[in-house]
Structure 1
Amino acid sequence: MDLLIDSHCHLIRSTRALVAWGTTLLVAVDYLDTVPPAVVIDQLARLPKAGLAGDLEHHLGAPKTLNLTATRIAERVAQAAPDRDPPTLSNIYIVALQLLTRTDHETVRSTYERVRSHGTRLVEA
């Protein structure tokens, strides 16, 4: 939960826009879609040690494109590391949020604007 809150606040600070929780996840996943698979694989491997791998789920409202993008990332990771189990979408979401919190404000802003320009209806709070 703290990871989502931190990511959400980072997005708001970066964009100066009040956005919905699902928009934070959408922007994070869109950014992750630009990250090389090797970086994603490395972050996925770190989840258990960070205490971020488990079966507790939370649900957010977000556009259908969120699942499509996350699935595309998971498929790229599976192709890049065929010797590993394919990542779950929930783990893709966690890695996306982790990386968003470490991303500079300008990149977060440009990712947010890119998502908006795709015609995705973003919900503002």
Structure 2
Amino acid sequence: MSDAALIEASLIALDGREAAMRDLLFDRFLARFPERRAIFIHIDATSVRMTDETLQWLYGLAQDRKWVWSQVAELVFNHRNYGELRQDEYDVFVDFAIDALRDTIDTWDAATEGAWRRQAASLKTLIARARAEWAASPLAFS
């Protein structure tokens, strides 16, 4: 089964449990980075968008969708409004999203784990690339 098919099956299994998954994700993320709590004006609204974007990008990468890059680059640029976010914060968020999904749905196996983690590695690489490109651009913070 392809990564895209495995990821899609996981997303279908999540149906109706998205809020529980987001709660796990954000509880874990903010426990790891408590100083970031202050940047969330309305965490319930923000958590929906952040989680959905992350899962969509991972699914898009599994489908070899080219649009993922432009959205990731834009997100990294826009996140400058929240101060300097480190690569490890992005990486942990992606990993915690997958962990929260795994801990929320009933269907998970080694193949599913591998599919998500392979796409996570690709997403982390795109984020690092976007961070480097924005840091080198004339629009970077001085």
- Give the TM-score taking structure 2 as reference length: 0.31
Question: Which of these two proteins has the greater Rg computed from alpha carbons?
Answer: 2
- Give the TM-score taking structure 1 as reference length: 0.33
